[in-house]
Amino acid sequence: LMSDISTDSILRYGFNLDRSCFVDIGTNAQLILAIVNTFVFHPFPLHILLRRSPTMSTSIRRGYILSQLAFITYEFIFFFLAQIYVIIPYPGLYSEGLLCRMNLPKGVILGFISFSIVVVQPPFAFLIVRMHQTFMDNDSPFKLSRRVQIGMASVQITLMSLNVVGFTVFGTDPENIDNLLKEPELTMLAARGHLLLLGSPGDPQLFRFELFLFYVTLVLNFSVLLFCILHTMHTLRKRSLTAKSVHTQQMTQRMFEVFFWQV
């Protein structure tokens, strides 16, 4: 007991609370989420989507199926295999997951983690673009050809793949890792689980290049998706206001609400 009190007294940045409860709460919550979401929440809508529906287009149904599969992959890797805990202000991650217990190389672990993060983006983008195209008139300048849509998807998948490579290549140990591991907070965590250090506080070192690539990817991808979302909502709202019959207005308003909540 006295040794625990002594250790807590030298821990900074609130790591005494992490040591006493927050790490346990975070890792246990991730494990529960991984089990419940992977085997209950996502399989249920997936089962419904796999059954053909006469009211849903094939492309949108495929988009929803891919999204559910991507979320299952993300939650299984991130919450179960990795069980990541952020260790602010240190640029790095703490892990108690199976990937780290297998003593895999750091690059492989970061590759799995980054893949789980980016895998959910292409299906979501595909779904948003397909829904946007569904509501576009054939003579609309925003009606995209299949070739253009394939090109957009190829660019996004390429950018996302580069981020996985960036995590692996630039996620190397910091130059001063031996000194960092002497810090009481990191010593405590290293004795308990696995540390994935990427730099020292305020200096992510080589990982800054991956952070730059990640932010550029976010801006490029989500600016297009944000436009599709806002433009679709504007189009549906405009149709609702210009509709002549009450029934058409109600149907358009319902489509607007469905799209809004799905997004």
3-class secondary structure per residue, the chain: CHHHHHHHHHCCCCHHHHHHHHHHHHHHHHHHHHHHHHHHHCHHHHHHHCCCCCCCCHHHHHHHHHHHHHHHHHHHHHHHHHCEEECCCCCEEEECCHHHHCCCCHHHHHHHHHHHHHCCHHHHHHHHHHHHHHCCCCCCCCCCCHHHHHHHHHHHHHHHHHHHHHHHHHCCCCCCHHHHCCCHHHHHHHHHCEEEECCECCECCCHHHHHHHHHHHHHHHHHHHHHHHHHHHHHHHHHHHHCCCHHHHHHHHHHHHHHHHHC
Q: What's the confidence (pLDDT) of residue 250?
A: 58
User: Tokens at residue 170, please?
Assistant: 């630039």
Long-range residue pairs from 2-7, CB within 8 A, at least 24 positions apart, any chain: 7/184, 7/188
Does residue 229 fall inside a structural domain?
no
Does residue 95 fall inside a structural domain?
yes
Tell me the residue range of the domain where 66 lies.
2-217
Does residue 152 fall inside a structural domain?
yes
> Facing residues of 37 across strands?
none
- Asked if 205 and 175 touch (Cβ cutoff 8 Å), the reply is yes
Cα separation, 216 vs 163, in Å, equals 10
Q: How many CB atoms lie within 10 A of CB 231?
A: 15
Does residue 235 fall inside a structural domain?
no
- Asked if 77 and 112 touch (Cβ cutoff 8 Å), the reply is yes
Q: Tens digit of pLDDT for each residue in 204-234? A: 999 999 999 999 999 999 899 989 888 888 8
Does residue 261 fall inside a structural domain?
no
Does residue 251 fall inside a structural domain?
no
Q: What's the confidence (pLDDT) of residue 115?
A: 96
Question: Does the predicted TM-score (pTM) go above 0.85?
Answer: no
Q: What's the confidence (pLDDT) of residue 181?
A: 92
Q: How many CB atoms lie within 10 A of CB 9?
A: 9
Among the residue ranges 7-21, 98-112, 163-177, 182-196, the one predicted with the least confidence is 7-21
Q: Tens digit of pLDDT for each residue in 235-246? A: 877 877 776 565
Can you say whether residue 14 is alpha, beta or left, with left for phi > 0 and alpha for psi between -120 and 50 degrees? left
How many domains are contained in the chain? 1
User: Tokens at residue 27, please?
Assistant: 């890792």
The total number of residues shown for the chain amounts to 263
Does residue 198 fall inside a structural domain?
yes
Among the residue ranges 87-91, 103-107, 218-222, 244-248, the one predicted with the least confidence is 244-248
Mean pLDDT, to the nearest integer, of 21-38? 90
Shortest CA distance to 162 belongs to which of 203, 87, 92, 221?
Answer: 221
197 has pLDDT over 50: yes
pLDDT-based confidence at 94, cuts 50/70/90? Answer: very high
Q: What's the confidence (pLDDT) of residue 249?
A: 55
Does residue 156 fall inside a structural domain?
yes
203 has pLDDT over 50: yes
262 has pLDDT over 60: no
Q: What's the confidence (pLDDT) of residue 3?
A: 41
Mean pLDDT, to the nearest integer, of 6-27? 81
